[in-house]
């Protein structure tokens, strides 16, 4: 799958999950989800590897990247398409309220892999 098509899929997910493209965190989330789809091991190193990657790409700091992602998730959680979110997130994550950054990233990346990239998932997540 091309990077452009993957970005479209990720963007559609973020929009359905209420994340506005007007937020910096939207672009950080899109970048992070794409990175996780390409290298699932990053989910075990979000703070030490993923946030610094985002910071380097967007010329910011890892702590600002984390904060902007958290803000985008919080904002989106209030505006999401609830049925879509129930399809994407596991029951436990959905029932407890807003997911953590790690939960959000892992669940969205995994759902995209399982739904759109089936058969091309060797060595992922």
Distance CA 116, CA 6 (A): 9
Q: Is the pTM of this model over 0.85?
A: yes
Mean pLDDT of the chain: 91
Percentages helix, strand, coil for the chain (3-state, rounded to 5) are 75, 0, 25
Residue 24: Cβ within 10 Å count:
16
Instruction: For 22-73, write each residue's pLDDT tens digit.
Output: 999 999 999 999 999 999 999 999 999 999 999 999 999 999 999 999 999 9
Smallest CA-to-CA distance from 29 within 3, 11, 8 is with 11
């Amino acid at each position: 799958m091309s990077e452009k098509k993957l970005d479209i899929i990720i963007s559609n997910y973020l929009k359905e999950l209420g994340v506005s493209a007007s937020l910096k965190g939207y672009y950080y989330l899109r970048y992070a989800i794409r990175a996780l789809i390409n290298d699932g091991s990053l989910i075990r190193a979000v703070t030490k590897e993923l946030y610094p990657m985002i910071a380097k790409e967007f010329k910011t700091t890892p702590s600002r990247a984390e904060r902007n992602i958290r803000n985008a998730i919080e904002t989106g959680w209030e505006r999401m398409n609830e049925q879509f979110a129930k399809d994407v997130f596991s029951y436990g994550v959905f029932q407890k309220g807003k997911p953590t950054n790690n939960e959000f990233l892992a669940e969205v990346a995994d759902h995209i892999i399982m739904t759109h990239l089936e058969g091309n998932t060797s060595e992922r997540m």
